[in-house]
Amino acid sequence: MKVYLVLPLVAFALAACEREDREYRANPMTAESQEKIALVPLSAGPSGPTEYRSGLGKEYEENAFHISQGQRFYTWFNCNGCHANGGGGSGPALMDDRWIYGGQIENIVQTIREGRPNGMPSFRRKIPDDQIWEIAAYVRSMGRNVPKAAAPGRKDDMSPGPAEQRRPPGQVIDGGQVPPSAQMPQ
Amino acid sequence: MKRLVPLLLIVTLALAGCQGWQSALDAHGPAAHTLANMFWIFVAVLGTVWFLTMAALLLALRRRRPVDADPLVTDPGTEKRMTMTISVAIGLTLVTVITFTGLSYAAQKVLYSHKDGALTLLVTGQQWWWEVTYEDEQPSRVFTTANEIHIPVGEPVLIKLEASDVIHSFWIPNLTGKMDAIPGRQNQIQIQADRPGLYRGQCAEFCGLQHAHMGIVVIADTREDFERWRDHQVSSAIAPNDPERQRGMEIFLSRPCIMCHQVRGTDAGGKVAPDLTHVGSRRTIGAGTLTTTRGNIAAWIVDPHGVKPGVNMPTIQLEPDEVQPLASYLEGLK
Amino acid sequence: MTQAITAHERDAVPEVTRLATGERGGAPGITSEADRPPDPQELRDDQVDGPELTARLAKTWGTEKGLIGALSTVDHKVIGRRFIVTAIIFLFLGGLSAVVMRLQLAQPENNLVGPDLYNQLFTMHGVTMMFLFGVPIGEAFAVYLVPLMVGTRNIGFPRLNAFSYYVYLFGGLMIWVAFMRNIGPDVGWFAYVPLSGPEFSPGKRADVWAQMITFTEVSGIAIAISTVVTAFKLRAPGMTLDRIPLFVWAELVNSFVIIFALPAVVTASAFLLMDRLIGTHIFNPAEGGDALLYQHLFWFFGHPEVYIIFLPATGWVSAIVVTFARRQVFGYIPLVLSLIATGFLSFGLWVHHMFTTGLPQLGASFFTASSMLIAIPNGIQIFCWIATLWDGRPVFRAPLLFVIGFFFIFVAGGLSGIMLASVPLDTQVHDTFFVVAHFHYVLIGGNVFPLIGAIYYWFPKFTGRMMSERLGKWHFGLAFIGFNVAFFPMHITGLMGMPRRVYTYMPEMGWANLNMISTIGAVLFFGSFLLFLHNIVASARRGALAGPNPWNAGTLEWAAASPPMPQNFDRIPVVTNREPLWAHRDTLPVVAGLSVENREQIVSTVTAGRADLRETTPEPSIWPFLTAIATTILFIGSMFTPWAFVWGTPPLALALIGWFWPKPSTEDEK
């Protein structure tokens, strides 16, 4: 009788925690991940737009290691040149709820990969696919759209504000405004 | 007598340990000589102490007293003799300890009295490689390289140590002892080599996943060779002239490489990974992990995590026919 | 002090002394509960005798059957037994992780485990050996043996003692379950910032490490306090300060070192948790913090830690040397003083772990002097033990063999420590395999070998059965050879430039052969422990019956039955000599007058050991266990959210209120 109680406990103990997995060897054979994501829930016809998610997003945005790598690349690849520490500058803010081009991780991956009008360059072939996902996961953590236990703590830098893990959980509201600083000169 | 056999074995092994391109006992610099000599003095004295203590123990284990002796009855004469012996032994220990402290302090003075040297380097420990900046009064002669230090023979070289992420420790055993590189601080250490040669070192403070693969090579040259090397390093990369390497350069400049790496004289201006301007002239890639050959460069680009799991170099997508030109280009960056 | 006791003195003590009944000379008007004359109705141990006394006392002091009874017990022997078994299980787990590491290092560029798992393994090895084995095993022996050796019926603060065991167990379970779930810490047992800080250790791995520290330190300090109180206040009448067994002295000094050292590491790990969880900048240089501060805090604990592991072992060695040399110890007073000196000096050495961090040179050299100076008290101890053997009649049984192994190994480790104490030499060998070799010589030689000796020695007391002597000798031979084959070559690999904590190395470094030898030795060494395990299990079932005093030893624990009855002694002995059972071979003088129906103990004066008060000690209670559960919830919760301190405190407060709820004492009920 007791054995039956103990077994699930042991199984639980032995199951690896995915949140802590350190997967650093991306599969070199796969090309970039294909996701079909709609920006708006509108489409012709009675059904909504067709979407396809590979599930990669969950893998990245719930993994503390990937988010932390993304945090590092965010600085290394000079994202803060335009977006600062998420508060925005010449580029839109990343820590608020408003997402011009969609706030799901798949949208953000697409934004980084393809670029967007008014100044966001395309990083296709400039940043490897897995690192794009990691950066996107970190961007998601800026508005605390990732699990708290996976969100990064403070960095060893001058601190611009509370660390991602200390921010209140955010939400995603599609359809933000392009900040005036990022608009094309009229 | 039985103990003698393993002992001999051990001594042979110990002597074998004196050799090596990363051995503390194979001294090739004045500081390392001081340390190695001091080490052998300590070994001799402490070894004697160990043998004497063990001899006393073995003698003590012989039975003397009758079987039925009362364990509480002691002989005042024996007690007195034992007290005297122990007092003498403790006195000798004290003398040894004081002598060693003095010796140690004297050696410390020698080790840390930095002489004026012609050359000052800034070495920054990063996960998991070393950035080396040769300082110079003329800004145009300052340059940056990675994982390889060239020094002129017989001259003291001052090394300033910094760390950009976590704590590392800079250690070239053949030349001198180690010194930590700590974020937010700057430490200094001086190295000097007696004769030309290649001395390997390795990070000695645990710094994460790839602490095991964070090597650095010190190459001691004659002053002329060193100057020639330095003049070359100051210059920008030479543009390739054969078509394969030109193609390699195009691939290099259109791929993720430039996000992190710098090649002076091209558009590649990344600052977070080793400077590749003269990577082909360096002995190793991947911080002492692979020797610099075209094949190794290709292997490193195709699967860095197979060589050094967890390294910050990403796996990038290349067409099969792009690997060779890219490797040729990098190898040609002499 | 070391004069023989004369036959006349032995006879001078009456066989049974009666405790005074209430006419204690206190200041008039100031009376306390304890001064009250005992209830004449109550059955006292001078009114019954023989088997009836034993049976009645066993009922009063016993542990109830069933799960609740087992979890409520406050019997120091039951708790101590669990403690020892748990610590030894952790020793095996730690050893297993070491074997995996050694197999990985056997060959250059081996692929048995990758860097991520390797880093977790060596962290788990260090953490387990230091915090879940090294510190607790010494304390566990104190829990079991100190009350027996000082001749009392239970440890001081028995409920606190029970609580500390559960906290320790839950902390150890937490980190091993975390490791199984791939949340094992991977930052080394020292967890230096910034590597263990929020930026470079994502996830919960470093938090698990830091919180495990809190668990074991709460537990460690609690037992240390219980031990100090037991050794100071619960000694049998007549056990003056200079009649306290050396083992108890060692545990006493050890407890003080624990009380003063552990708060430093709790501070360090709490600061680390704050940096990681609530974004403080205590160790962040960019915001005015300091990464080196962490190292100072850690090593201010970390060096005394080494002595926390070593000091109990000196107690085991003293006990074994005296019994098997068949001679009272030579130089009791110098031995006690050198224990105390070691305790004090251990707080002045911590900087020798930081010689390569670029500290001011003159300051560093002071720490060279103090580090070398510790050779003096340790030298005195070694010489006094050798002198005892010299003038004794050594009986070569397994415990003594392991103590001889201790001498060989520990002295070698201590001497290589002198090299590490020197700043310049340390810059070459620091953080290399030389240091690995050194501290395994010191810790395995200085703790594990005496420990195994101690288990062979006290096993009959714990279980009532002898361990197999033949297996014991095989075990010793295998362990001694295996150990030296494993660790001696590491001195050389270190000098050849192999740093610590590397998961692999390249073939051209020339370290392959030495590493292979080390691995073979490590496997042998681990094999010797399997033999040991077999010996324990087989002997516990089928060993020869031991009787109360199989070794014919002199200290009080051998006056109790094997295994001891719940009350330890039917009547509390009166101590007239440092080795009471040698001074009174036939009958031990005792005092009588304690209650048979209540858990009554004698509280004695600190220095003279005069019976001072009669005090009831706590009954069994489930509250310590519940408090430990509440503490665990609070500690684990606080790794995830600071709010755990808000919602985690009320259950803890409730459990503590239940624990401390004033009850009318059983005396008053009658």
**pLDDT tens digit string along A120-173?**
999 988 888 889 999 999 999 998 999 888 899 888 888 878 888 888 888 888
Q: What CA–CA distances, in Å, run from B92 to B86, B97, C341?
A: 10, 9, 19
With contacts defined as CB-CB under 8 Å, which chain C residues touch A153?
A: 197-199, 275-277, 279
DSSP state of B165: S
The answer to whether residue A13 is domain-embedded is no
Distance from CA of C638 to the nearest CA of A (A): 12
| CB-based contact C125:C94 (threshold 8 Å) | yes
- Model ipTM value: 0.92
Amino acid at C170: F
Residue C381 has a pLDDT of 95
Q: Which residue has the higher pLDDT, C320 or C47?
A: C320
* pLDDT tens digits along C588-615: 898 888 888 888 889 999 998 888 888 8
Rounded Cα–Cα distance for residues B259 and C203 (Å): 27
C277–A153 C-beta distance less than 8 A? yes
Q: In whole angstroms, what separates CA C9 from the centre of its chain?
A: 36
Classify the C-alpha dihedral C245-C247-C249-C252 as positive or negative: negative
C275–A154 C-beta distance less than 8 A? yes
pLDDT tier at C1, thresholds 50, 70, 90: very low
A155–C198 C-beta distance less than 8 A? yes
Nearest C-alpha in B relative to C579: B72
Burial label, C473 (beta-carbon count in 10 A; 0-12, 13-18, 19+): middle
Query: Which stretches within B173-219 are classed as H helix?
Result: none
- Which A positions 134-153 lie with beta carbon below 8 A of chain C? 148-150, 152-153
pLDDT above 50 for B228: yes
High-pLDDT (> 90) share of chain C, % = 75
What pTM, to 2 d.p., does this model score?
Answer: 0.92
B212–C504 C-beta distance less than 8 A? yes
Q: Residue A73's domain is classified under what CATH number? A: 1.10.760.10
Question: What end-to-end distance do the CA atoms of chain B give, in Å?
Answer: 60
pLDDT tier at C380, thresholds 50, 70, 90: very high
Nearest C-alpha in B relative to C383: B86
| CB-based contact C325:C388 (threshold 8 Å) | yes
What is the count of structural domains for chain A? 1
Rounded Cα–Cα distance for residues C68 and C83 (Å): 18
The answer to whether residue A166 is domain-embedded is yes
The answer to whether residue A86 is domain-embedded is yes
Q: Is C486 helix (H, G, I), strand (E, B) or coil?
A: helix
Distance from CA of A118 to the nearest CA of C (A): 32
Q: What's the mean pLDDT in C223-251?
A: 94
The answer to whether residue A42 is domain-embedded is no
Task: Tell me which residue of C496, C521, C522, C501 sits closest to C511, measured CA to CA.
Answer: C496
Amino acid at C403: V
pLDDT above 70 for B9: no
pLDDT above 60 for B55: yes
Rounded Cα–Cα distance for residues C189 and C192 (Å): 9
With contacts defined as CB-CB under 8 Å, which chain B residues touch A28?
A: 302-303, 315, 317
Distance from CA of B132 to the nearest CA of A (A): 19
pLDDT tier at C7, thresholds 50, 70, 90: very low
Q: Which residue has the higher pLDDT, B151 or A4?
A: B151
Q: What CA–CA distances, in Å, run from C310 to C250, C443, C510, C539?
A: 9, 7, 35, 28
pLDDT above 50 for C10: no
* A125 inside 8 A of chain B by CB: yes
* pLDDT tens digits along C479-530: 999 999 999 999 999 999 999 999 999 988 889 999 999 999 999 999 999 9
Residue B270 has a pLDDT of 87
pLDDT above 60 for A28: no
Classify the C-alpha dihedral C331-C334-C337-C338 as positive or negative: negative
* pLDDT tens digits along C385-433: 999 999 888 989 999 999 999 999 999 999 999 999 999 999 999 999 9
Q: How many residues does chain B have?
A: 334
Q: What's the mean pLDDT in A16-37?
A: 69
Nearest C-alpha in C relative to A161: C279
Task: Tell me which residue of C156, C327, C281, C324 sits closest to C228, measured CA to CA.
Answer: C156
With contacts defined as CB-CB under 8 Å, which chain A residues touch C203?
A: 19-20, 64-65, 68, 149-150
Question: What end-to-end distance do the CA atoms of chain A give, in Å?
Answer: 77
* A28 inside 8 A of chain B by CB: yes
The answer to whether residue A22 is domain-embedded is no
Selecting from B254, B259, B317 the residue whose C-beta is nearest the C-beta of A77 gives B259
Q: Which range among C238-242, C482-486, C616-620 shows the weakest confidence by mean pLDDT? A: C616-620
Please report the domains of chain B, with CATH numbers, ordered by start residue: 4-63+74-112 (no CATH), 119-230 (2.60.40.420), 243-331 (2.60.40.420)
Q: What's the mean pLDDT in A114-119?
A: 86
Residue C3 has a pLDDT of 39
* pLDDT tens digits along B22-40: 888 889 999 999 999 999 9
How does strand B168-170 pair with strand B157-163? unpaired
Classify the C-alpha dihedral B311-B315-B316-B320 as positive or negative: positive
Domain that holds residue A166: 62-177
Across all residues in chain B, what is the average pLDDT?
A: 89
B250: which strand partners?
none
* pLDDT tens digits along C285-317: 998 899 999 999 999 999 999 999 999 999 999
The answer to whether residue A44 is domain-embedded is no
The answer to whether residue A47 is domain-embedded is no
* C431 inside 8 A of chain B by CB: yes
The answer to whether residue A41 is domain-embedded is no
Task: Tell me which residue of B136, B135, B220 sits closest to B176, measured CA to CA.
Answer: B220
For chain A, the chains sharing at least 3 beta-carbon pairs closer than 8 angstroms are: B, C
pLDDT above 50 for C669: no
Classify the C-alpha dihedral B172-C435-B188-B162 as positive or negative: positive
B305–A25 C-beta distance less than 8 A? yes
**Residues C580-611: b if buried by 16+ CB within 10 A, e if exposed:** bbbbbeeebbbbbbbbbbbbbbbbbeeeebeb
For chain B, the chains sharing at least 3 beta-carbon pairs closer than 8 angstroms are: A, C
Amino acid at C443: L
Rounded Cα–Cα distance for residues A152 and C204 (Å): 10
| CB-based contact C350:C293 (threshold 8 Å) | no
With contacts defined as CB-CB under 8 Å, which chain B residues touch A72?
A: 312
| CB-based contact C410:B53 (threshold 8 Å) | no
Q: What's the mean pLDDT in A9-15?
A: 66
Q: Which of C422, C516, C576, C582 to mutate to test the interface with B (most CBs of B within 10 A)?
A: C422
